[in-house]
Amino acid sequence: MSISMKSLYEWYRNTLRNPKYRWWLILGSLIYLLSPLDISPDFIPIVGWIDDGVIIGLLVTEVSQMLIDVANKQKNERKDNTENGDRATDKAKTVDVDAMTIEE
């Protein structure tokens, strides 16, 4: 069974973007980083830090991308609300009167 780095990255990314499992994966990543049990032990210089660096890089990259996506979504919603609000205020400023001529 061959597991590629790309498939692991895609699994991590997709799981992190799933709201049901997001906090579990973040918590698991933080526990892995703080735990002395790693794929490559931290007491081995440089080699022991590579797996931690990869996990930190993935976690920071994906969480920051999710935050950027949320910020952009909120920005677009505010923009849409502002545009819709301007139309509503334009309608409120317009007075529609049915004029009628009265003959004396």
On average, the pLDDT of the chain sits at 82
Domain extent at residue 45: 1-67
**Is the pTM higher than 0.75?**
no
Q: Report if residue 80 sits inside a domain.
A: no
pLDDT of residue 86: 55
Tell me if 26 sits within 8 A of 63, measured CB to CB: yes
Lookup result for tokens 């735990």: 35
Q: What is the pLDDT of residue 68?
A: 93
User: Total domain count for the chain?
Assistant: 1
| Residue 43 placed within a domain | yes
Query: Tens-digit pLDDT profile for the chain (104 aa)?
Result: 578 888 988 998 899 888 889 899 999 999 988 887 877 777 778 888 888 888 899 899 988 998 999 999 999 988 888 777 655 555 556 777 777 777 87
Question: Is the residue at 72 inside a domain?
Answer: no
Residue 75 inside a domain? The answer is no
Judge whether 5 lies within some domain. Answer: yes
- Tell me whether residue 95 is in a domain: no
Q: Could you give the angle at the alpha carbon of 58 between the alpha carbons of 57 and 60, nearest 5°?
A: 65
